[in-house]
Amino acid sequence: MPFVSKRVQGIPPYLFSVIDEKKKRLQAKGMDIIDLGIGAPDLPTPDFIVKRLTKELADPLNFKYSGYAGCQEFREAVAAFYKNYYEVDLDPNTEVLTLIGSKEGIAHIIPAMIDPGDVVLIPDPGYPVYRTAAYLSGGECIDLPLIPDQNYRPDYKQVSDQHKEQAKLMFLNYPGNPTAATVGIDVLEEAVRFAKDHEIGIVHDAAYNLVTFDGYKAPSILQVPGAKDVAVEFGSLSKSFNMTGWRIGYVVGNKEIIRALSIVKSNTDTSQFLPIQKAAAEALTSDYSTVDQNNRIYQERREKMVEALQKIGIAVEKPRGSFFIWAPVPKGYSSQGFAEKLLEEAGVVITPGNAFGPSGEGYFRISLTVPSERLTEAVERIKALQLEVNAHVPDS
Ligand SMILES: *Cc1c(COP(=O)(O)O)cnc(C)c1O
């Protein structure tokens, strides 16, 4: 492959591909597959946002390049959201930057913060993009283990002293994908302390900041006093306003990091289409009733799925955030083995936990982003597998 860099050739094979191929084979044979592996909302973007987009499309001035940092209205809407929702003050000109989806920001912030060979702490298990993007920027990825029994808070004790000193960047993600873990502000306070002690920049990925249940409100890392000295936070409209394909997100917090990212970005892209930014500003300055409506739907689906899993003996608690359920596989199965069994025998796709890092082995992820009837059907099929025999075998 003379035209493909060693870097790209070195990306480890995509772990979902085995399941994906199997899914396609079974579908070709006529099997009805329910895909609980997809991590994107099935619900539509709320009408008022689409209306604003349509209105902005009528103005030819909107067809020009956006400013590099994004349009003023969007950045001010992000700052207003932080003020209203978290009581955090942000300067829309220096502490907010528009992104073409938060994934874009995650990929570009790495070369803005590290040089090749620098150590990056990656939550394990975690969203796979952190690891691959850090690798593509020449970073050395070191696992930051999360503690399952303590809501997947990071276990800094397990990071060696050498890696603590070498690390320049640390990723965190609450509410978490894939773990659905939610934390109190204390966990973010501890992170800021750790980062200051070791001069590590924090990137907190808050993609699920508004997807929360049972009255739980996910904290922002910027609510920690002094967090702006070391941290930035990513947000996205993809999950909270069902806008995955629109590609709009933001980063807020530390000015120097944001400025460094804006330099990388201004040499890479020219921000998002103005009508999309303006429609997203409309979303962020709305009354959030559509977010509540979506959350009620996810919550109903969650009840259904958690109850079904508990019935077949899988130990799982109701998550307070994200639209995922993260659960241990029944005894006697690997993550991959369990995923293959569910696919072959029930026609249900789940994501094997090892796709999210070594500590994900022994777990699986279910996404609640399918229509409720399909979820009910999936639940019935899983129940019909009569897995309880395996789940209840005592240790001998
Ligand atoms: C979906 C997701 C993203 C990416 O969101 P976009 O803004 O659509 O790029 C980032 N982080 C996590 C953890 C996600 O699940």
Residues 190-212 pLDDT 10s = 999 999 999 999 999 999 999 99
Q: Which residues line ligand 1 (CB under 6 A)?
A: 39, 101-103, 127, 173, 177, 205, 207, 236, 238, 244, 249
Closest atom of ligand 1 relative to the 106 alpha carbon: 10
| CA 98 – ligand 1 centroid, Å | 15
| CA 158 – ligand 1 centroid, Å | 27
Write the residue with the smallest CA distance to atom 4 of ligand 1.
Answer: 103
| CA 100 – ligand 1 centroid, Å | 11
Query: pLDDT class for 389, splitting at 50, 70, 90?
Result: very low
* First vs last C-alpha separation in the chain: 51
Q: Does domain 6-44+289-389 have CATH number 3.30.930.10?
A: no
Look at 34-38, 55-59, 381-385 and tell me which has the smallest mean pLDDT: 381-385
Look at 50-54, 102-106, 135-139, 383-387 and tell me which has the smallest mean pLDDT: 383-387
Closest atom of ligand 1 relative to the 237 alpha carbon: 7
**Which two three-digit tokens encode residue 61?**
């001035």
Query: pLDDT class for 396, splitting at 50, 70, 90?
Result: very low
User: How far is 229 from 254, CA to CA, in rounded Å?
Assistant: 6
| CA 123 – ligand 1 centroid, Å | 15
Residue with tokens 């249940």: 213
**Fold category of 64-284 in CATH:** Aspartate Aminotransferase; domain 2 (3.40.640)
Instruction: Classify burial at 63, counting beta carbons within 10 Å of its beta carbon; exposed 0-12, middle 13-18, buried 19 or more.
Output: exposed
Instruction: Classify burial at 189, counting beta carbons within 10 Å of its beta carbon; exposed 0-12, middle 13-18, buried 19 or more.
Output: middle
Residue of 146, 171, 238 with the most ligand 1 atoms within 8 Å of its CB, for mutation: 238
Are the C-beta atoms of 121 and 171 separated by less than 8 Å?
yes
Candidates 357, 341, 20, 19; CA nearest to 179 is: 357
Q: Is the pLDDT of residue 250 over 90?
A: yes
| CA 386 – ligand 1 centroid, Å | 35
Give how far the C-alpha of residue 202 lies from the chain's centroid of Cα atoms, to the nearest Å.
16
Parse the chain into domains and list their residue ranges. 6-44+289-389, 64-284
The number of residues in the chain equals: 396
Q: Is the pLDDT of residue 30 over 70?
A: yes
**Which two three-digit tokens encode residue 95?**
């502490």
Predicted local distance difference test score (pLDDT) of residue 394: 45
Categorise residue 146: left if φ over 0, alpha if ψ from -120 to 50, beta otherwise.
beta
pLDDT mean over 107-131: 97
pLDDT tens digits for range 147-165: 999 999 999 999 999 999 9
Give how far the C-alpha of residue 99 lies from the chain's centroid of Cα atoms, to the nearest Å.
15
Look at strands 119-124 and 167-173 and give their pairing. parallel
Are the C-beta atoms of 86 and 235 separated by less than 8 Å?
no
Closest atom of ligand 1 relative to the 243 alpha carbon: 8
Are the C-beta atoms of 205 and 234 separated by less than 8 Å?
yes
How does 285-302 read in b/e, with b if 16+ C-beta sit within 10 Å?
ebebebbeebbebbbebb
User: How far is 138 from 115, CA to CA, in rounded Å?
Assistant: 7
| CA 273 – ligand 1 centroid, Å | 19
Write the residue with the smallest CA distance to atom 15 of ligand 1.
Answer: 177
**Which two three-digit tokens encode residue 372?**
């409720």
Residue of 130, 174, 236 with the most ligand 1 atoms within 8 Å of its CB, for mutation: 236
Q: Is the pLDDT of residue 283 over 60?
A: yes
| CA 129 – ligand 1 centroid, Å | 9
| CA 236 – ligand 1 centroid, Å | 7
Which strands make up the sheet holding 351-352, listed edge to edge? 324-328, 363-367, 351-352
Predicted local distance difference test score (pLDDT) of residue 15: 64
Residue with tokens 């009805």: 32
Predicted local distance difference test score (pLDDT) of residue 386: 73
Closest atom of ligand 1 relative to the 322 alpha carbon: 15
Candidates 148, 128, 179; CA nearest to 319 is: 179
How does 310-345 read in b/e, with b if 16+ C-beta sit within 10 Å?
eebebebeebbbbbbbbbbbbeebebbebbbbbbee
Predicted local distance difference test score (pLDDT) of residue 166: 97
Closest atom of ligand 1 relative to the 205 alpha carbon: 11
Closest atom of ligand 1 relative to the 103 alpha carbon: 9
β-partners of residue 122 are 143
Q: Is the pLDDT of residue 229 over 60?
A: yes
Residue of 42, 102, 240 with the most ligand 1 atoms within 8 Å of its CB, for mutation: 102
* Stronger pLDDT, 153 or 394, i.e. the higher one: 153
| CA 5 – ligand 1 centroid, Å | 26
pLDDT mean over 293-312: 94
Q: Is the pLDDT of residue 391 over 70?
A: no
* Average pLDDT score over the chain: 94
pLDDT tens digits for range 325-341: 999 999 899 999 999 99
User: How far is 348 from 69, CA to CA, in rounded Å?
Assistant: 42
Q: Is the pLDDT of residue 395 over 60?
A: no
